[in-house]
Amino acid sequence: MNKQITLQELGLRDYQEIWDYQETLFKRIVDTKIKNRREDANLETANYFLLVEHPHVYTLGKSGDLSNLLISEKQLEEKGAKFYKVNRGGDITYHGPGQVVGYPILDLENFFTDIHKYLRFLEEMIILTLDEYGLKTERSPGETGVWLDVGTPFARKICAMGVRASRWVTMHGFALNVNADLGYFDHMIPCGIKGKAVTSLNVELGKKVIDEDELKAKLLKHFSALFESTFTLESTTI
């Protein structure tokens, strides 16, 4: 089992461009697995972890409700935002500057074959990272992601998640609000969950800006420990 993960930090990139790139990596892993099965080969399958930031965009999961987007196509254009229907789970999500977005594209057969456990590990990575900032976050029963003040009228989400998996290969991932402009969340019903707010780490800590590179290092440390994996940084041009 290959527990080595290729880390790629891609900077600010268009959502469609990175979605297409995810699909390329995803197919590469799946094709290797098919070759192994058909030809009784013993080829190692790769694992990737993409860190990226997107310009303003709203994405709707395959089981999502379009009515959870609260603005028109013209208003999207006025706000400099795009909209895509995507092939992950979950409902509607916003991505934009000030978010740390992570897309692990893993062959889970290198780690464990349990999607529920995979999602819980992603949540745990976020919870452990935010604990280093003195912020107590937790899971909300039946609602994937990471939250504050669950079970109170002040419940608010700080990290959204949505994944796709086929043949135990994952794509899509998480979006953690670090220095996010929360005004963009007013134009949707986040994840289709009414009556619950969204927050960002800088807001919770009362700071103007959080060092995102420092936060990424903490995320990767906890991911590596949870998945018993190691990272190799690789520069790439898409």
Q: Are 126 and 138 in contact (CB under 8 A)?
A: no
90 assigned ligand-binding residue = yes
21 assigned ligand-binding residue = no
Alpha-carbon separation of residue 164 from 95, 174, 189 (angstroms): 17, 12, 21
144 assigned ligand-binding residue = no
125 assigned ligand-binding residue = no
Of the CA atoms within 13 Å of residue 218, those in its CB half-sphere come to 18
183 assigned ligand-binding residue = no
Q: Are 226 and 121 in contact (CB under 8 A)?
A: yes
Q: Examine the residue annotation and report whether 159 is marked as an active-site residue of this protein.
A: no
92 assigned ligand-binding residue = yes
CB atoms within 10 A of CB 155: 18
Residue with tokens 């609602």: 143
56 assigned ligand-binding residue = no
Beta bridge partner(s), residue 29: none
Name the active-site residue from 122, 169, 180, 191.
Answer: 191
Binding residues: 88-95, 160-162, 173-175
Please give the positions annotated as active site: 191
Binding residues for substrate: 88-95, 160-162, 173-175
